[in-house]
Structure 1
Amino acid sequence: MDSPGPQADTQALVDRCARRPSKLCPYSAPHRKAIHMASEYSERELMVVCAARQIRDHELVFVGMRLPLLAFALAKRTNAPNCIGLFECGIVRDTPAPELLYTMGDAPNITGALWTTDMVNVLGSLAAGDVQLGFIGGAEIDRYGNLNTSLIGDWQQPRVRLPGSGGGADIASLAHRLAIIMPHERHRLRERVDFVTSPGYGYPDAEGPAGSAWRRRVGLPRGGPTALITTLGLFAFNPDNGEALLQSYHPGTSIEEVQEQTGWPLRLAPDCRETPPPSPEELRIIRECDPQGIWTR
């Protein structure tokens, strides 16, 4: 199959993927009989399920690292069989990798890839508006979905220097939707982050409120956070004012515990409820794809 060039039409890419035979998690087959489906599940397995449920069929998805690798594999076998995964290092896949990935640049991620190119071409799909959903994480986040992966403390004399943006700022700025995955700790979920590395919905200012209007004011053409998936719950965002709304709290926790570990006063979604647990089928797929629990322990 000819590799599409940098200016390839997205629909042509989607159509080409639809004609390929699906080979989902082939490396998992030897483990199927050995998997014991316990009723318990880890908080990370629940986070993978929440992340997979964010992916819609036929979408181009910036997959990212760690838990999103499993979320992509799970979505391909459940709710989004025709989604396509993009990796910042220049890889495009319509099937999960044939072996468990530790980094997006691992050799198995190249095997059977739809397209192996460079970072410029993959990130160019963001600029073109072709990417519907992106996954990223962060060290700090505030109520408006602004993420910090740069530093802790004062800009001039930071207490801690963090890795920086990588592709996070690009994904947060240009994907149509943004899903954020991170541990839920009070020092991470803050009233205001020390530095905005990847923009969410900004802050209220003299020109208007936070939210989609702020993104338009600063020249961001689309997008914004739509989900924050943590170890305690799932947040949605109100694009009108940019604020996070607790959509569900995970089994075994409570709204009070979520508030205790959140650095701003919680706002609840009208239908706030307990997060639905993983189904037996979802757990089976996750444990086939990561039988040793490298990412989910």
Structure 2
Amino acid sequence: MSEYTPFEMIAYTGSRVLKDERIVFVGTGLPIIAAMHAQLTHAPNLYMIYEAGSLAPILEMGMPLSVGDTRAARKACYLKGLCGAFELTQRGCADYAFIGGAQVDMYGNICSTIEGHNYDKPGIRFPGSGGAGAMAANCEKTIAIMALEKRRFVKKLDFVTSIGFGDGAPDYREKAGVLGSGPYRVITNQALFGFDEATKRMMLLEVKPGRTPAEIQELVDFELIIPPDVKEMAEPTDEDLRLLRDVIDAEGYFLKRVIKK
């Protein structure tokens, strides 16, 4: 099996999570790549919503470089602008929200706004929600991607950008007035996480071959639920890598990025 990069593993795992005959609201970059890979493999009837307002475009002109790229409007069955896209989620027409983030806590709440406790003078200011806050509030299930680091998997967020299960109370989302069932998966290059139905806490589902659950726990600042049947993550085949590298992101806009240590 060929070697793969962390971003290729994340994109491939994201593809595996997506199911056929579903609608996914995608963010820029790896979510688009994952959805395109799914369409080319096991989910030909997976449809994408883009924030700029298109639903189910035919990507015959190549991968959109952003959610506002005109290629994301090519032969779309619905094209009504940003407000129209989010109206679709409020009508219950999005099965998945596929977003990124800088921090996540044990209940799937996500920060993509700041790093640091002082909002006015943070250590780092990130781009912010974009559409992620509304996507996490209105889509049926939220899928998040981020690097697996202790500074990202935290006990307490510096800022809540995208709502998850709040404080873990069973009725938190209902009382908050948001739709959907909430966080579904958190994808990293070293592990795949889900959420326990009873406690709403993050649960380890799969680990990268060669890693152990104990090693994954060391990279998380809160206590994970670790069931006895944690699986090994599937690795991309040579054909999967060909699709990712030569067909979907042939220019390497996203997959050839390097994680700085």
**Taking structure 2 as the reference length, what is the TM-score of the superposition?**
0.90
The residue number in structure 1 matching 2:98 is 135
* Percent pairwise identity: 31
Query: Which segment is superposed worse, 266-275 or 168-177?
Result: 266-275
**1:17-50 deviation digits (Å, cap 9, x = unpaired):** xxxxxxxxxxxxxxxxxxxxx6211121111111
* Offset at residue 290 of structure 1 (A): 1.6
Aligned counterpart for 1:285 among listed residues 219, 243, 254: 243
Native 8 Å contact 2:201 2:224 kept in 1: no
Native 8 Å contact 1:236 1:244 kept in 2: yes
Distance in 2, Cα, partners of 1:225 & 1:219: 16
The residue number in structure 1 matching 2:215 is 257
Which of the two has higher C-alpha Rg? 1
Letter of the structure 2 residue corresponding to residue 283 of structure 1: L
* Offset at residue 291 of structure 1 (A): 2.4
The residue number in structure 2 matching 1:207 is none
Aligned: 1:96 with 2:59: yes
Letter of the structure 2 residue corresponding to residue 125 of structure 1: L
User: What does 1:1-297 correspond to in 2, within 5 Å?
Assistant: 39-152=2-115, 153-155=117-119, 157-203=121-167, 210-287=168-245, 288-297=247-256
Distance in 2, Cα, partners of 1:159 & 1:283: 37
The residue number in structure 1 matching 2:259 is none
Native 8 Å contact 2:50 2:72 kept in 1: no
* Offset at residue 95 of structure 1 (A): 3.1
Q: CA 1:97–1:145 in 2, change beyond 3 Å: closer, same or farther?
A: farther
The residue number in structure 2 matching 1:31 is none
Distance in 2, Cα, partners of 1:163 & 1:97: 30
* Offset at residue 270 of structure 1 (A): 3.8
Distance in 2, Cα, partners of 1:212 & 1:130: 24
Native 8 Å contact 1:185 1:261 kept in 2: yes
Q: CA 1:168–1:140 in 2, change beyond 3 Å: closer, same or farther?
A: same
Native 8 Å contact 1:59 1:84 kept in 2: yes
Native 8 Å contact 1:144 1:211 kept in 2: no
**1:134-171 deviation digits (Å, cap 9, x = unpaired):** 10111111111000112222235433332222111111
Distance in 2, Cα, partners of 1:189 & 1:44: 18
Distance in 2, Cα, partners of 1:202 & 1:235: 17
- 1:126 match: secondary structure: helix
**1:48-102 deviation digits (Å, cap 9, x = unpaired):** 1111122221111101111111111111122211111000011222433522332
Distance in 1, Cα, partners of 2:252 & 2:130: 26
Query: Which segment is superposed worse, 75-84 or 263-272?
Result: 263-272
- 1:121 match: secondary structure: helix
* Offset at residue 212 of structure 1 (A): 4.2
Letter of the structure 1 residue corresponding to residue 191 of structure 2: G
The residue number in structure 2 matching 1:28 is none
Write out the 4+ residue segments of structure 1 that deviate beyond 6 Å after TM superposition: none
Distance in 2, Cα, partners of 1:269 & 1:46: 23
Native 8 Å contact 1:48 1:67 kept in 2: yes
* Offset at residue 183 of structure 1 (A): 1.0
